[in-house]
Amino acid sequence: MTCAQFRLAVRRYVRLAWKTFFHEKDSPGRLTPKRFILFLGLIPVFGGLQLLHWLCFLLDEILFPGYRKIEVTKPVFILGIPRSGTTLLQRVLARDTERFTGYKLWECLLAPAIVERYLCRFIIRLDRAIGGPGRELVALIDDRLFRDVRDIHPTSLFWDEEDEVLFYPIFSTAFLMYMFPFVEELRHLAFFDEQTPEDEQRLIMDYYKACIQRHLYVSGPSKHYFAKNVMSSAKLEALRRTFPDARIICNVRSPYRCIPSSLSLAAYIWEQCENAPWDERAVEIFVEILHHLYEHPMKTLPQWPEHQYAVVLFEDLRRDLKGVVTHLYNHLGLEMGARYPAILEEEDAKSRRYKSTHQYSPDTYGLSQAFILERYRDVFEYYGFETEPDAAREAAPVETGGRVSIARNGQGE
């Protein structure tokens, strides 16, 4: 890691902390007594954790400099729009442990450095030797921490999750807008390729590559790194510069379904951070970002070599998980692990039985289907999504043969 990257992190942390306490009046982060108490503890703890990561990054350079020689070969990035099956696809591919390796949520949050990872492994072995009380305590914390959100988005410290969390130590993720809703400070990160200055892009992407090299150093340099991160939809050009042989899987789904579902999850996280009540300003911010997460891949993916990307429709993934995944391996030039076909059969059967318990309505956020159609008309036209009101209801799973769309000339096949 470089001094320039550290300076970027410190500068943004100080600005966000300052705005939290002294320039919050006209923002959704207005300082109520409850928010003041929360952030009085959260800001130093959060900042202290990131500083610890940086100290461990420095130790990595001294103790494990060989990690920089690790080649990141054919990394697979699952992106697209939230609520389009990205988590399902990530967790299915994660089971091909002979070929892929990615970050668990606890690794992103607590151990992005090699030193931290080895220390955690030592603690885990020690805990097992005395009967596993530490594991039981962490499992209890994990259950309570994510209990309320699991009906919306199944989450656990022990599961693969968005690797956007890796950008917390460098304070360069749009996710920070939940904790620090100061749009003018962070908006450019949600429109990464288009609005983030080139020198800042280089610092952030070099940091990201080093994180991936660290992970491969510990988890297997011969494997393909893979990650699910919807915010990478805004970083496609930066990803291509940093990883020229990357494979991109772009998940899409009708805006009728994705937009209200995404806003439902965003509103929950927003409220947990004690921001001002979810209102039209907040909705507008997220509606704009979600449109960009659709639009940017529509514009940039056709410029990629066809064998390096695929567009997966949510309906196809739900109807024929096995067929879609098999087609992805073949199309992207990836080889299944020897044990994976049987695992894929198991996951396919499990997917067919799954029923979501997440309930939401567009009206909750003041979004009619007419508004969604008008705001996302280019998306409906590009992918050929149905525009009639009953298109919001998706069909039950049936066999489709695993069609995977490759977007060309403004259309998805």
CA dist., res. 358 & res. 261, Å (int): 8
- The long-range contacts involving 365-368, CB below 8 angstroms and separated by at least 24 positions, are 365/260, 365/263, 365/264, 365/267, 365/278, 365/283, 366/280, 366/283, 367/259, 367/260, 367/263, 367/283, 367/287
3-state DSSP call for residue 338? coil
- Is the pLDDT at 147 greater than 90? The verdict is no
State pLDDT tens for residues 2-11: 899 999 999 9
Residue 1's pLDDT is 72
Q: Quick one: which of 238, 299, 307 has its CA closest to 74?
A: 307
**CB-CB contact of 199 with 50 (8 Å):** no
Of 12-21, 28-37, 304-313, the range with the lowest mean pLDDT is 28-37
State pLDDT tens for residues 59-85: 999 999 999 999 999 999 999 999 898
CATH code, domain with 100 = 3.40.50.300
- Is the pLDDT at 413 greater than 60? The verdict is no
Residue 148's pLDDT is 73
Burial of 25 (0-12, 13-18, 19+ CB in 10 A): exposed
Residue 322's pLDDT is 93
Q: Quick one: which of 248, 252, 223, 242 has its CA closest to 305?
A: 248
- Is the pLDDT at 397 greater than 80? The verdict is no
- pLDDT category at 412 given cuts 50, 70, 90 is very low
- Is the pLDDT at 411 greater than 90? The verdict is no
CA dist., res. 335 & res. 333, Å (int): 7
State pLDDT tens for residues 358-368: 555 555 566 78
Give residue 272's domain range: 3-412
Strands 407-408 and 411-412: antiparallel
**The overall pTM is greater than 0.75:** yes
Percent of the chain with pLDDT over 90: 63
Residue 192's pLDDT is 97
Residue 26's pLDDT is 74
- Is the pLDDT at 203 greater than 90? The verdict is yes
Burial of 40 (0-12, 13-18, 19+ CB in 10 A): exposed
Burial of 48 (0-12, 13-18, 19+ CB in 10 A): exposed
- The amino acid present at 336, given as its one-letter code, is M
Across the chain, what does the average pLDDT equal?
Answer: 87
CA dist., res. 230 & res. 334, Å (int): 22
- pLDDT category at 243 given cuts 50, 70, 90 is very high
- Structural domain count of the chain: 1
CA dist., res. 226 & res. 163, Å (int): 9
Name the most confidently modeled range: 19-33, 34-48, 199-213: 199-213
| Average pLDDT, integer, range 195-220 | 96
